[in-house]
Chain A
Amino acid sequence: MPQIRMTVNGKEVSGEVEGRTLLVQFLRDHLGLTGTHVGCDTTQCGACTVHVNGRAMKSCTLLAAHADGADVTTIEGLADGDTLHPMQEAFREHHALQCGFCTPGMVMSAIGLVKDNPKMSEKDVRHGLEGNICRCTGYHNIVEAILDAQTKMGA
């Protein structure tokens, strides 16, 4: 059984996992970080998106053992105390969430998009969200929130 250590939301964590344990299972079941969700089994929906070494990845398609030594950020690690990350704040302000299930992955993915291209057009944002499915919002307010957060993150 692989022994793994990684940094999750700034904290050193370690544990023993099975070879088949996915990163999302390690986060949810071992660390109790249940904000990272599983919405499908075909690497399509993006609800499980986290950042691994600064890059957005789908934690349902990543072995926990492979993330050994990595620096992982989940939705729980974004806010600074009671102060939300600008992306979280923009989602709230623009009513970019309804049931909230896709939201953590959507926010993590959106931050990754802004990081790669801080000057996205609406079209860029829509294309960039190709790997995240939301069934409630119709995306309209999500796109608005990301464009707004992009401005604020750049400021």
Chain B
Amino acid sequence: MASQFGIGQPVRRSEDKRFLTGRGTYVDDINLPRQTHAVVVYSPHAHADIKSIDTSAAKSAPGVLLVLTGEDAQADGLGGYGQALMPEDVGGPPGFRTTRPVLATGRVRHVGERVALVIAETEEQARDAAELIEIDYAPLPATVLAEDAVKDGAPLVWDGAENNLCFPLMMGDADATEKAIASAHYVAKVHIYNNRLTTNPMEMRGTIGDYNRAMDEYTLYTSTQNPHGVRAEVAGHILHMHETKLRVIARDVGGGFGLKGGVFPEDALVVWAAGKLERPVKWVPSRSEAMILDDDGRDQTLDAEMAVDKDGKILAMRWIALNNLGAYVVGPGAVVPMFALGMSQGVYKIPTMLVATKAVFTNTPPTTPYRGAGRPEATYTIERLMDAAARGIGMDPAEIRKRNFIQPSEFPFETHTHQIYDSGDYATALDKCLELSDYKNFAKRRAESEKAGKKRGLGLSYYIDNTGIFNDRMELRFDPSGSLTIVAGTFSHGQGHETTYKQIASDLLGVPFEDIKLVQGDTAAVSFGRGTYASRSAHVGGSALKAAAEAVIESGKKFAGMMLEAGESDLEFVDGLYKVTGTDKAIPMTEVAKFAYIPAGPPSELGTGLEGVGNFATTMSSFPNGAHVCEVEIDPDTGKVVIDRFFAVDDMGNIINPLLVAGQIHGGIVQGVGQALLEDMVYDRESGQLLSGSFLDYAMPRADDVPSFQIGMSEVPSPSNPLGVKGAGEGGTVGATPTVINAIVDALESAGVTNMELPATPERVWRALSKAA
């Protein structure tokens, strides 16, 4: 039904008012009666044996209620955090599995590994006491960089994981690729370090555990993207209890970007401690603690080659990588290299290719998905190669891409890495972006910049994303007043599902937008769900919601038939009304819903009330894609890069809310810009100490680091799901990083620069210029 609140409309978000008036509820805003406060004591060493821990002074410090160590966790039989998925689970090679304990015993393997938990009446008392814990460590040699970890004689993170290898991955045809490269007209080569990042959602992870002895039930409030996933790990794998004994609640979550899709020791620690104390236990870290205790993202090193003929046709591609997993392979950590290989072919037809990586352990915190999770690595590599190839044969970078694009008629298209692309029209989106960015007049703008002593470069890239993972379920429940509740298995943490799901439900059922409510993030209210990550919610959640709406319409038909005195087969549902076909007899859905709750009348088989459950299981991913163009201006004296103009034209399939999709693109681009220019999680190569551990040293984009954006849409509906949508959450990030770096290389090409490391800091740019000169 076309209304101002329907699918496709720029509906203003219904969740905004509480945020704008300071009434959001993040974990630190929740305070329970008799609440206590926990502080985590963590390893200051990257690799060490714990010789002894003396907690006696801490235990007798003022206000201290409980001090727990790894020995206590062992005594209580606590388990640890394993893997959500390993390559061998999907037919890949076997890997070395690790279990991350909630508190370490014996050995610590990265700075930030949890060693003890101190609980006191106040946070400051807990901090005072934490300083009194004496831990005798025997430091061991550490390995920090992936390239060092695979060297002969490197310190081993795990006994049994030879050469620090967790698992290898390889896809493609080595011989054919070697042959094609050996005889090619031109071979472009790039060396890439896809820098290590940290997520820094503005709300830090925080947890509160509670225990109700009367009911023998635990409650965990946590800042997560995946409440049921946390319940499964904490109850099932760590505390060894039935999931029904643990209720997980996530209220408002202040950003996640993948970090909060995982489970952390603090999720289990506060629940465990609350059971011991029979009091609520709250843990909220400082930002500096969060930066040490959070998992990181990216960290892939690779050498890549692309062979092309003189007409710019790709003949072959090859890359060999190292993925730094950190000290543990946890949760979805292994998914990142898997996605990187899986999406490595980009949007191009490539006759033959080989991609391979070794995922290795180091004495650093685990790396897990961060916005894009492998797709940024894939797109970054191939889009850098496309530019390098274009430069090598003197071809326009847009032209070389167009000559190799998979064509609209070729979908579904299976890549060498067994991805089946759903739909797309890459050349159209690229042309729109070139038009939007006034590509043809770049030379004029470059001349203007040169007059001002600046070097201007233009970068473009064409990204492809992979969205819509797994299955999920949604429920729709009318209440006797005729208002509607959406019970979602996904979990909005900034995306605006409250608004978009209401748009879908309103559109499909004809229920007024304002009469619909979203319930999510409480395992007691939502029977099951998989949460929100990997841009899955519109595709999977939206499709399940459509199925739920269809189930409601079907159930409602029986009641409507009674009300309209018509057979079900004579009824149709149009624009929110049940109509008797060929008559003017009709009744709105909301009236049918009220009728469904009358205490007597409808027979048993109609049920009491009106509700529907919908499921959707992805059989084919959706593949959002799009073109980015940006222009940078570089100050050659300082190396400072300024992004002057930025354009994106995206194919995100059908759009539910263009305002919110644009917001995802803006935010995504800026995180991609952050990786390109600013963000760098740096650990000392020898000691493994974090050198970028606060906002004073970890640079994130601020408002004056980026320009305003011009974005456009070039939708090709996806056949992968009934809404025809493609996930919008990550494309901006996937595309922006190579676009910016390609622009920088373009700007510096005339000075002899051919490669640029991530992030392109002013000093790096200045050094590249100085070296070339």
> B253 contacts A99, CB within 8 Å?
yes
A39 contacts the other chain (CB 8 A): yes
B265 contacts the other chain (CB 8 A): no
In the complex formed, the residue of B with least CB distance to A108 is B22
A16 contacts the other chain (CB 8 A): no
A61 contacts the other chain (CB 8 A): no
Cα separation A127 to B709 with both chains bound (whole Å): 17
In the complex formed, the residue of A with least CB distance to B495 is A98
Q: Given the known A-B contacts A35-B21, A100-B24, are A138 and B666 also in contact in the complex, defined by CB atoms under 8 Å?
A: yes
Which residues of the partner chain A approach B31 to less than 8 Å between Cβ atoms? 29
Which residues of the partner chain A approach B701 to less than 8 Å between Cβ atoms? 138-139
Contact with B along A38-61 (1 / 0, CB 8 A): 111110110100000000000000
* Distance in Å: Cβ of A87 to nearest Cβ of chain B: 9
Contact with B along A114-153 (1 / 0, CB 8 A): 0000000011011101101111111111111000000000
Contact with A along B287-312 (1 / 0, CB 8 A): 11000000000000000000000000
Q: Given the known A-B contacts A129-B703, A138-B666, are A101 and B694 also in contact in the complex, defined by CB atoms under 8 Å?
A: no
> A137 contacts B667, CB within 8 Å?
yes
Cα separation A102 to B204 with both chains bound (whole Å): 12
A92 contacts the other chain (CB 8 A): yes
B442 contacts the other chain (CB 8 A): no
Residues of B660-678 at the interface with A, using a CB-CB cut-off of 8 Å, are 660, 662-663, 666-671
Residues of B694-719 at the interface with A, using a CB-CB cut-off of 8 Å, are 694-696, 700-704, 706, 708-709
Which 6 A/B pairs are nearest by Cβ-Cβ distance?
A: A35-B22, A100-B19, A101-B254, A99-B494, A138-B666, A138-B670
B229 contacts the other chain (CB 8 A): no
> A41 contacts B21, CB within 8 Å?
no
> A138 contacts B26, CB within 8 Å?
no
> A129 contacts B702, CB within 8 Å?
yes
Which residues of the partner chain A approach B204 to less than 8 Å between Cβ atoms? 39
Cα separation A35 to B663 with both chains bound (whole Å): 23
* Distance in Å: Cβ of B684 to nearest Cβ of chain A: 20
In the complex formed, the residue of A with least CB distance to B22 is A35
Other than the given A75-B22, A92-B13, 9 more pairs (CB < 8 A) read A74-B22, A92-B16, A99-B203, A99-B494, A127-B703, A137-B667, A138-B668, A139-B666, A139-B703
Which residues of the partner chain A approach B97 to less than 8 Å between Cβ atoms? none
> A99 contacts B201, CB within 8 Å?
yes
Q: Given the known A-B contacts A138-B666, A139-B670, A142-B703, are A101 and B202 also in contact in the complex, defined by CB atoms under 8 Å?
A: yes
Which residues of the partner chain A approach B20 to less than 8 Å between Cβ atoms? 75, 79, 84, 88, 91-92, 97, 100, 103, 107
Cα separation A132 to B702 with both chains bound (whole Å): 7
> A137 contacts B666, CB within 8 Å?
yes
Contact with A along B437-448 (1 / 0, CB 8 A): 000000000000
> A39 contacts B21, CB within 8 Å?
no
Which of B21, B124, B287 is A75 in contact with, Cβ under 8 Å? B21
Which residues of the partner chain B approach A134 to less than 8 Å between Cβ atoms? 202, 703
Q: Given the known A-B contacts A45-B695, A88-B20, A99-B254, are A143 and B708 also in contact in the complex, defined by CB atoms under 8 Å?
A: yes
Q: Given the known A-B contacts A44-B696, A74-B22, A95-B12, are A100 and B494 also in contact in the complex, defined by CB atoms under 8 Å?
A: yes
Cα separation A44 to B200 with both chains bound (whole Å): 13
Which residues of the partner chain B approach A38 to less than 8 Å between Cβ atoms? 28
Which residues of the partner chain A approach B257 to less than 8 Å between Cβ atoms? 135
Which residues of the partner chain B approach A91 to less than 8 Å between Cβ atoms? 16, 20
* Distance in Å: Cβ of A127 to nearest Cβ of chain B: 5
In the complex formed, the residue of B with least CB distance to A39 is B202
Cα separation A129 to B203 with both chains bound (whole Å): 19
> B21 contacts A79, CB within 8 Å?
yes
Cα separation A92 to B22 with both chains bound (whole Å): 13
* Distance in Å: Cβ of A34 to nearest Cβ of chain B: 4
Question: Can you list 21 residue pairs at the A/B interface with Cβ under 8 Å?
Answer: A34-B22, A35-B24, A36-B22, A37-B26, A40-B287, A76-B21, A79-B21, A92-B12, A95-B13, A99-B255, A100-B20, A104-B22, A127-B704, A129-B704, A130-B704, A133-B695, A134-B202, A135-B257, A137-B663, A138-B701, A140-B708
